[in-house]
Each structure stands twice: as C-alpha cells, then as structure tokens.
C-alpha cells in the first residue's frame, strides 16, 4: 500500500506531526523549515498533502498562512482540531535543579509563563518547539530545557520533567489539510460542511456591508471573517471567510453569487466536512 506523503513545517515531533499521525497512519512525513517551503511541496507535487496550523484558541491566527493561501491557491481537503499539551523536556541525566534556561517557540514560551517564572528560567526563543527539542538532544548542556510535545521527547530520547505545563487548559490549534487538486465531497443532508474562500472587495462605499448582506438574507452562518492587507499597500485588503454549508445548497449558492457582485477577486479554497470538534 502506497504511503501518504505529508509535508509539515517544523521538525519531527512538531504538533503538526502529531496531527499528521492522527489523520494518516504511517504517512511519509516531509519536514520543512518555513511555511512557504511547505506550501511549495504540495504545489509542485499533486500527490503530496500539507498539514498547516491556521489558528490557535489562545494565540489567534497564524498570520503567515493568510498570505500564502492566495499565492499558492491550494485546496482545503479538511480540518483538524488538536489539543496542544506542552511538556518540559531535558537531557536524561538532568533534573529540575540543573535547569537555568528554557528554549522553545515564542508562542509556547508565552503559554507557559507560570512554570518559567516559578523556576526563574531564562527564555531562549527558537523557530519551533520540536526544533528546540532536537537542538537540546544534540547538545551537551544539561542546564537547558525545551518546551515541546511528548512525541518530541520520544523521538529525541529526552526526559519529560513535567507534563502539561501550559498556563491554561483547552489550548487548541486548528489545522488545515491541503493539496493541489480539489477534493470536494458531495452534499449530504446528514453531514455538516465548511466552505472557505478568500476575496478582495471592489473599492466602493459599503462594499463589505453589501457583500455580507447575501449571507444574512439566505441565513448562512459565518464562522470566521478576517481581513489582512495586500502586500505593499494600505489601500486594499483581502478577506478570509469560513461559512457553514456546502456550495450545492441553494442558500449558500445565492449568498456566494451576491458576494461575487461586490468583489474584484473571489477564490474558493475548499468545501470540506466540518470537524466533529465544532459540535462540542
């Protein structure tokens, strides 16, 4: 059986790697240094999918992704919500009294301030959580700890000093599964769907108000609407939108037609089954 090819940003053991393992058993994982490199993998290879974080319940949106979506126009095949559990990792021979520094991604450090302040650790910001664990494993300094996943501890043979060290429980990251070709499921009344798109409005008064009117008139619920500036200008903005529904539903179809009247560009990023996490 041919393995799924999945590209992620970060080293093995990253939270994207955990999401990939949950979704695709025994997948061939390709690690990428940047999000753009990750997008390029799927853009250049139609047999490759990517799993990328788009938002976090504590930290908000992952800003880099919004600029890559219109650039590469990959299609969303699905979504996945992952509970993020941070752990304090160290060398096998170290203990808590040896630790003076803690290394991780800026967001992870920000989400674990209680243990950092309690132990008076000095923070070292790194590119990603799993990369911090890998660097720790390759070094000889037992005064450094890393904040990363339990999978990172397993991969890099590190000791977990303390589990679930995040300041707040319920830290959830939403991931998108994307690929070059559309994989739109057929409409089914028994299932819930999400449609995602990116659009740019015409430069005219009340354009945003008018384009949103179609969703209200047709009773289509929007779960997300975000604006982000078009590069090199403050005059225009792109909008990212998630709505509940399938393009084959009459109300959604009419609302999208209304949206099209007031936009310069409108790109459907995907129609996919809503995660069961949304039903909680």
Q: Are 102 and 116 in contact (CB under 8 A)?
A: yes
173 belongs to the catalytic site = yes
Is residue 233 annotated as a catalytic residue, yes or no?
no
- Predicted pLDDT at 231: 66
The domain limits of the chain are 5-84+172-179, 87-162, 193-279
How far apart are alpha carbons 13 and 187 in whole angstroms? 36
Task: Give the contacts of 258 (CB within 8 A, at least 6 positions apart).
Answer: 211, 213, 214, 215, 217, 218
Q: Which of 39, 175, 193, 239 is catalytic?
A: 175
Query: Is the domain covering 5-84+172-179 a CATH 3.30.160.150 domain?
Result: no
By CB atoms closer than 10 A (0-12, 13-18, 19+), residue 188 is: exposed
What pLDDT, in 10s, does the model give residues 142-175? 999 999 999 999 999 999 999 999 998 888 999 9
CATH superfamily of 87-162: Periplasmic binding protein-like II (3.40.190.10)
Q: Measure the CA–CA gap between 79 and 82, rounded to whole angstroms.
A: 10
| Catalytic-labelled residue, pool 38, 129, 173, 195 | 173
Per-residue tokens: 98: 């040896």
**3-class SS at 6?**
strand
**What is the pTM assigned to this prediction?**
0.92
More confident: 234 or 76: 76
Contact 108/126 with Cβ under 8 angstroms?
no
Task: Give tens-digit pLDDT for 236-277.
Answer: 788 999 999 999 999 999 999 999 999 999 999 999 999 999
């Amino acid at each position: 059986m041919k393995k799924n090819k999945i590209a992620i940003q970060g080293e093995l053991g990253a939270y994207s790697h955990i999401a990939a393992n949950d979704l695709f058993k025994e997948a061939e994982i390709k690690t990428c240094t940047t999000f753009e490199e990750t997008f390029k993998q799927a853009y250049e290879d139609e047999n490759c999918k990517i799993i990328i974080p788009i938002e976090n319940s504590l930290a908000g949106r992952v800003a880099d992704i919004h600029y890559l979506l219109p650039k590469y126009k990959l299609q969303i095949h699905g979504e996945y919500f992952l509970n993020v559990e941070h752990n304090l990792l160290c060398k096998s021979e170290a203990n808590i009294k040896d630790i003076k520094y803690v290394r991780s991604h800026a967001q992870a450090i920000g989400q674990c301030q209680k243990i950092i302040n309690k132990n008076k650790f000095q923070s070292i910001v790194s590119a990603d959580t799993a990369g911090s664990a890998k660097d720790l494993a390759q070094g000889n300094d037992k005064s450094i700890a890393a904040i990363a996943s339990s999978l990172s501890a397993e991969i890099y043979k590190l000791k977990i000093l303390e589990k679930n060290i995040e300041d707040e429980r319920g830290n959830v990251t939403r991931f998108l599964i994307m690929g070059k070709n559309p994989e739109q499921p057929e409409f089914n009344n028994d299932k819930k769907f999400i449609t995602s798109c990116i659009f740019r409005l015409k430069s005219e008064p009340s354009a945003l108000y008018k384009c949103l009117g179609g969703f209200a008139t047709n009773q289509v619920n929007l779960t997300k609407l975000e604006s982000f500036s078009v590069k090199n200008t403050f005059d225009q903005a792109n909008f990212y939108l998630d709505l509940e529904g399938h393009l084959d539903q009459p109300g959604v179809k009419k609302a999208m037609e209304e949206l099209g009247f007031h936009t310069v560009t409108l790109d459907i990023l995907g129609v996919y089954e809503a995660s069961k996490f949304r039903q909680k």
